[in-house]
Structure 1
């Protein structure tokens, strides 16, 4: 190698080390940037075209800065419900525009906040994408979110109030066995009330009335038979137990002896006719003059200890459970590990409003970095595959958390020292080559 070749090689070394220094400085500057991926510098030797004898001339080096996109940073808790971190290989999908009309990008920078319109946007101005869900937690319009174009911007103002009509009520009670014996004065019917919620979130009341069928005489055994009537305040008019308000009626016969003593033996429904379901121990009644929600009333399976009972003792309500909720205002937004964006309301109820998807790539490092710690989906990365969080290598998501930069300051400072020394050594070679050329020029004098 001639002095001129050495000069050129060292100049290429200076340029390569300068490029590495640029990457190191960027890493150090972004060591606290959420979701930042460090720049790693790779060197490549340059060789001029070889001669026919197999000899070749060295031509220095060149460097390439590559972003370590697939290398994860540490997840840290933040306490903010709309901060999102990914534990796995997946990437959050964002869009440049709130209307999802811009370019779709992938990112791990999950510091999202609601803007003035309720759209979740991160610090770089990118809008979080997801699949909108209905009140039952199913994708709206049947869209499953398997394609990028089916995603929309997550908007937390899309649901500000909520109520859910009641669909199932479980009411169990112990009926006094002695009430079905003979009495000169009929025992007082047993009455209980259970509130439920109609389609508009209003509170209504079902009244359960249990009337015993007495034995015909003092010598006759107890009948163990009760008439159960159910009345609805949203149906008909008049007193609470007026016939116009009755929505259900059934005759309950209880076992008097044997291993199933005290349990329901038979149920004969008279209103509505033949509505008792022996499989789950329920019958269905209409409410609100047939305009309200249909309610499934759980009274118990035949010959089962779970349900209505007739044992000696006082009338006692043993179980009252119901679903549904009254009107409530949106109070909080959170993100579950399965990617569901949950809305919590003032009535204590929660429901999912969006399903986040994670994009995975065959070669995530092949994506093109853009501003704001986001990445363009490129051919080199492979086609994006959208998965629900918790599926395969996509990983899960964590609310109230962020992924920090994957920069290690100790490594960067060590690389900084190495780069400085390499740069200085290349500069020394240039000075030496310059002195050699100067000596050659002075030989002619």
Structure 2
């Protein structure tokens, strides 16, 4: 082996071990970086000429970086409700611009809410699908339907009453034309809380009618909020006191011209199951003065509420909670998978870009079709094992020192050769 070849080989070793040490340094520096994936050096020999039995021409070594992108990091719990992590295969889709930005991917789920209400992490906006209040994706679950997640998309919450359920007994021992009153709670479409009186009149044996008064403000019964509905409901009972029928069926009442400016309300009255005793019944009150016995009168709908908190559920659903106690789904976070994740191009900030080798992203809901599962209030730790990195560092240091000794030896041999000339 020629001295110049030995020198060249030793220099290539220094370069290769320097590269390996740089990777080790990066790994150790990012041992606490959320979602960080370690890089490792892969060494390959360089051979310039292997022919001939009596001579050898040295080549050396080269080092290339291998990013262990698909390695799973340990999930750890956090106290931030918008932190998320993936257990399994996949990435979170993000963009660095609210408009016109390209889609990138990350495993770093340390998202927080910025001053504008968006979920962000190091300048990257988390992307998701808009959902209805039940968590169903609106439109198609496709990349073209992804939008930056804006938690302020629904800052307030309210809901008009659409159903009122009655569980009460009308006294069978009441005389025809006797009347009794109950009240039912209501919410208009603006979230105003009100009550409306229901007058029950016994019109014949086993038959009653219900009429309705003016809705009034729940906090002040002297304030009228709408005219009295004109609807009248007829209710009949079987001989055993169970509900026989209602007219109309289903029983409904309409409230128009709210003074609050709310939309007209149409409320379905759930009076129970025909033939059952789970709603209205007509049984003897066994009182000297017959009276209506109320178990419950409950209405849906919600008072006005302000957004109080946002959290991500374990299925990737972004939930908004309001001061009125309502919690609704506003977005669904997808999981992006690739045919060759290891071929993604790494960028600063824990971001990855697609390449021709990685293929395009396939978007799935959490845990579906081989995609990883999203967990809320958790983060994925760095995959750096400092013990392993220190061991690799010692090996790189020893190899570097040995290569430098080869250079020293070659230098002395050159001196000897020159002195002999």
Return closer, same or farther for 1:155/1:55 CA change in 2, 3 Å cut-off.
Answer: farther
Cα drift, residue 264 of structure 1? 1.0
Q: Is the 8 A contact 1:231 1:248 kept in 2?
A: no
Structure 1 portions without partners, runs of 5+: 215-222, 270-274, 277-281
1:161 counterpart (149, 156, 161): 156
The residue aligned with 1:44 is 44
1:201 counterpart = 2:191:
yes
What is aligned with 2:288? none
Secondary structure at the counterpart of residue 328 of structure 1: strand
3-state SS of 2:231 partner: strand
TM-score of the aligned structures, taking structure 2 as reference length: 0.88
Is 2:172 the partner of 1:177? Answer: yes
Q: Is the 8 A contact 1:207 1:240 kept in 2?
A: no
Equivalent residue runs for 1:103-142 within 5 Å: 103-122=102-121, 124-133=122-131, 137=135, 139=137, 142=139
8 Å Cα contact 1:130/1:145 also seen in 2? no
Residue of structure 2 in register with 1:80 after alignment = 80
Q: Secondary structure at the match of 1:7?
A: helix
Please say if residues 231 and 240 of structure 1, whose CA atoms lie closer than 8 Å, have aligned partners that are also in contact. Answer: no
In the superposition, relative to structure 1, how do residues 191 and 423 fare at CA in structure 2: closer, same or farther (>3 Å)?
same
Q: 1-side partners of 2:202 and 2:252: how far apart?
A: 23
Q: Indicate if the aligned counterparts of 2:7 and 2:410 stay in contact, CA closer than 8 A.
A: yes
- The reply on whether 1:4 has 2:4 as its aligned counterpart is yes
Q: 2:244 aligns with which of 250, 265, 279?
A: 265
Shift of 1:120: 2.1
Deviation at 1:16, TM superposition (A): 0.9
Other-structure match for 2:408? 431
Count of matched residue pairs = 406
Contact 1:226 1:253 in 2 (8 A): yes
What is the distance in 2 between the residues matched to 1:171 and 1:431? 96
Using the size of structure 1 for normalisation, the TM-score is 0.83
Equivalent position of 1:384 in the other structure: 361
Aligned mates of 2:65, 2:234 — CA distance in 1: 82
Structure 2 counterpart of 1:299, from 266, 271, 286: 271
Structure 1 residues 131 and 100 mapped into 2: Cα distance closer, same or farther (>3 Å)?
farther
- 1:56 and 1:248, CA in 2 relative to 1: closer, same or farther beyond 3 A? farther
**What's the counterpart of residue 17 of structure 1?**
17
Shift, 1:433, TM fit: 3.4
Aligned CA RMSD, in angstroms, stands at 2.8
Question: Residues 11-40 of structure 1, C-alpha deviation per residue, up to 9 Å, x if partnerless?
Answer: 211211111100001111111111211111
1:210 aligns with 2:200: yes
Q: Match for 1:285 among 244, 253, 271?
A: 253
**3-state secondary structure, aligned to 1:226:** strand
Q: Does 1:410 align with 2:387?
A: yes
CA distance in 2, matches of 1:332, 1:38: 35
Q: For the residues of structure 2 that align with 1:12 and 1:77, how far apart are their CA atoms?
A: 45
The DSSP-based 3-state class of the residue aligned with 2:62 is strand
SS of structure 2 residue aligned to 1:347 = coil
Q: Is the 8 A contact 1:47 1:56 kept in 2?
A: no
Q: Give the Cα–Cα distance (whole angstroms) in 1 for the partners of residues 104 and 281 of structure 2.
A: 61
